[in-house]
Structure 1
Amino acid sequence: MHGHHSHHASDDAGHPRHAHPHHDGDAHGATTSSHPQKEAHGHGHGHTHGHGGHAHAHGPINYDRIFAIGVALNVSYALIEAVAGFWLHSLALVADAGHNLSDVLGLLLAWAAVWLSRRKPSARHSYGLGRTSILAALANAVLLFVALGAIVWEAIGRLNEPQVVATGPVIVIALIGIAINGFTAWLFMRGSKTDLNVRGAYLHMAADAAVSAGVVASAALMGVTGWLWLDPVTSLIIAVVIAWGSWRLLVDSLRLSLDAVPAHVDASAVAGFLAHRAPVQSLHDLHIWALSTEAVALTAHLVCPDGHPGDAWLKDVCDELHERFAIDHATLQIETGDAAHCALRERCGLAH
């Protein structure tokens, strides 16, 4: 009873073009509509849709350049900070340097996912490798918590053996860290709102800026009060704040890796839209999942007793799914609700 799926057309660069739906005259047909997907991480995209003359375009974001800048700045700063931290006996600086180095690894993971997500689909990977961006986001979330665990461990040990800190130099180095990490976080800020992989990189940089700010505050207070315990206590407080802010990244990336419906997509609204679109009588087997941290896919079986509604109808539905719900790749199978086929589907446990 399953119809065939249309192939994915692509341009010379390997990026998908809109695959026009087609059917073979059978009442049970399927169509795949692949909208020009968001050019994965670094090439931007532009597209227009014929809805009353409405058109919109998105400017490109050069993530390659941003990642290169972020990696170069953070490697240089982490090395300087580590040397200064040991020399000045500042746990906060050493912890910040370690966190910066973990961020470099996180940036490299995210950058690698950006590169892999641009690769053309193949016979083995028919959707391409965009899903690596989800894995990178998950890895970055785990790295954040590993780094935080190391900070907490060292801070607890330093509470038992506080050491004198040269507050002046520490403040200067930490201020440089605020500038570097704050600037890098700002570069990623735009993409962090829509791309979970970029959000992971953004949170790493924002966390480092927060740690550096805490170092400045604790060093200034120590210079006035002489309370040596402020250095490790500040590290503990910052670790809690970062963990609180990073929890969402861990949860979201884990859910996407398990094929959960992306947080920005209202599955019930999508179901309502499809079910009430004439001549659809009902729908079943609706699935929505993430192809990457930016692209969303959907499959559904639509019951149309009067037969296939036509290619133009399918194209309009797919266009609206893209415009209203940000679903980039929709595959719809048309069924007439034949009783014999429905009974077979129920016996096989496929109806839901």
Structure 2
Amino acid sequence: MNTPPVSNGPAEQREDGHAHGEHAHEHAHEHDEHAAHPHAKGHTHSNTHGHSHNHSHGGHHHHHAPVAGHGRAFAIAVVLNVAIVLIQGVYGVIAHSTALLADAGHNLSDVLGLLLAWGATWLTTRRPSAHYTFGYGSTSILASLVNAGLLLFACGVIVTEAIGRLMNPAPVAGLTVFVVATVGMLVNGFSAWLFMRGQKEDLNIRGAFLHMAGDALISAAVAVSGLVILGTNWTWLDPVMSLIVVAVIVYGTWGLLRDSVRLALDAVPPGVDLQRIREYLAGQPGVTDVHDLHVWALSTTGNALSAHLVIPAGHPGDAAVDAIVFTLREEFAMQHATLQVDLGTTHHHCSLEHPHSH
């Protein structure tokens, strides 16, 4: 038989002073709502996976992206980029500049990407529901994935236009290109600065930062090409510069796309050392084996973990388990951890686990 497993957070306070009997039922993980309901009753439940999983739920602690400040950053960046798109689009046509039009198209994809990232950041703060028991944090993963897709689509459009202009050169107003691109560089540089604070911790914010920082560099390159065209009348430089712009965008987007796809496929999040976690759990007093260890991302800022701890002596007590969960959260960035304690009297490894993963 298995002793009741435990999930993250301190043990819940029980109204009636004793444990409730085991019963099977569906339930929602109400993250962050335990604090609002200090008298929520602890409970266990049984699942059917060939053996019994009994979960006793404690308070859940999740750390979402620091939205305060980012909401304002998104609003400012969206307004500024809409203005830049209009200016670059109009003057790109007037100056016959594909590089300027390419930058305008890229900025347009940035506006859409910023709106997606903004919406996803807001959704991560919404409380879980009966249907979305982990909340809406995974929308930030989807937003970063769509952002990468938008950037690559914009690149395809730019390449098509640039090749057309190389085959059919047109006069380019170098001074207009220089002035408009310089304005774009300043605006995008300021927008990138707005997202610098959170881009190392949040893949979604990182997507917004890469959009803005890339645009600032691209606009600077287009401005330089405008000056060169003004002095040399090398009109071919404009479409060539737009192709260089594409190369820069693709290079900067590849990492975002790779990480987004991995998180969407429930891969171990970047920066998480699964072997260290396994060694930590295996080193706890009384633990003779660790199996069914799974780690995945709940959002671009929050991770989850589930594992079976084989403890032949039986459940070590809530305090011991709470200490393990605390360490998983503080040292290994596991905002949600669910642990099941097994006696090791039966063989019930998860069918998803690789036979040589432990």
Relative to its length, the structure with more helix (as a share) is 1
Match of 2:64 in 1: 39
| Per-residue deviation, residues 53-80 of structure 1 (Å, max 9, x unmatched) | xxxxxxxxx1111110011000011101
Which deviates further from its counterpart, 159-168 or 3-12?
3-12
Q: Which runs of 5+ in 1 are unaligned?
A: 44-61
Aligned residue pairs: how many? 325
- Cα pair 1:31 1:314 within 8 Å, conserved: no
**Residues 1:105 and 2:112 are matched in the alignment:** yes
Which residue pairs with 2:265 in the alignment? Answer: 258
CA contact (8 A) 1:296 1:327 kept: yes
* Matched ranges for 1:258-337 at <5 A: 258-337=265-344
TM-aligned CA distance change 1:262 to 1:33, over 3 Å: farther
**After the TM superposition, which residues 220-231 of structure 1 pair with which residues of structure 2 at under 5 Å, given as runs?**
220-231=227-238
Tell me, yes or no, if the aligned pair for 1:77 and 1:177 is still in contact at 8 Å: yes
The question of 1:186 aligning with 2:211 is answered no
SS at match of 1:307: coil
- Matched AA of 1:122: S
Give the percent of matched residue pairs that are identical in Structure 1 and Structure 2.
52
1:253-308, Cα deviation, whole Å (9 max, x unpaired): 00000000001101111111111111111010000000000000000000001110
* Distance across 2 between alignment mates of 1:298 and 1:121: 18
User: Secondary structure in 1 aligned to 2:224?
Assistant: helix
After superposition, what is the alpha-carbon deviation per residue over 1:181-229, rounded to whole angstroms, capped at 9, x for unaligned? 0110111112111101111111111121122111111111112222111
C-alpha separation in 2, matches of 1:132 and 1:78: 26
Provide the residue aligned with 2:97 in structure 1.
90
- Counterpart of 2:328, as a letter, is L
- Which shows bigger deviation, 290-299 or 194-203? 194-203
* Pair 1:132-2:157 in alignment: no
**Alpha carbons of 1:303 and 1:12: their partners in 2 closer, same or farther (altered >3 Å)?**
closer
Structure 2: segments with no counterpart, 5+ residues = 8-28, 46-51
Give the strand-richer structure, 1 or 2. Answer: 1
TM-score normalised to the size of structure 1? 0.86
Aligned partners of 1:326 and 1:265: how far apart in 2?
Answer: 8
Kept in 1: contact 2:32–2:59 (CA 8 A): no
Q: CA RMSD in A?
A: 2.6
Counterpart position of 1:236:
243
C-alpha spacing 1:118/1:190, structure 2 compared with 1 (3 Å): same
Equivalent residue for 1:198, pick from 184, 191, 205? 205
Aligned to 1:74: 81
2: distance between equivalents of 1:13 and 1:182?
41
The 2-side partners of 1:209 and 1:197 are apart by 19
1:337–1:215 CA distance, 2 compared to 1 (3 A):
same
In structure 2, what is the equivalent of residue 172 of structure 1?
A: 179
Change (3 A) 1:12 1:301: closer
SS at match of 1:294: coil
Post-superposition offset of 1:36: 3.2
**2:218 maps to 1:211:** yes
Give 3-state SS (helix, strand or coil) of 2:133's partner: coil
Answer yes or no: is the 8 Å Cα contact 1:211–1:238 preserved in 2. Answer: yes
Residue equivalent to 1:47: none
Superposition deviation, residue 39 in structure 1:
3.1
- Partners of 1:81 and 1:107 in 2: CA distance: 18
Deviation at 1:349, TM superposition (A): 4.0
**Structure 1 CA distance for aligned equivalents of residues 5 and 282 of structure 2:** 22
Query: Letter of the aligned partner of 1:249 in structure 2?
Result: L
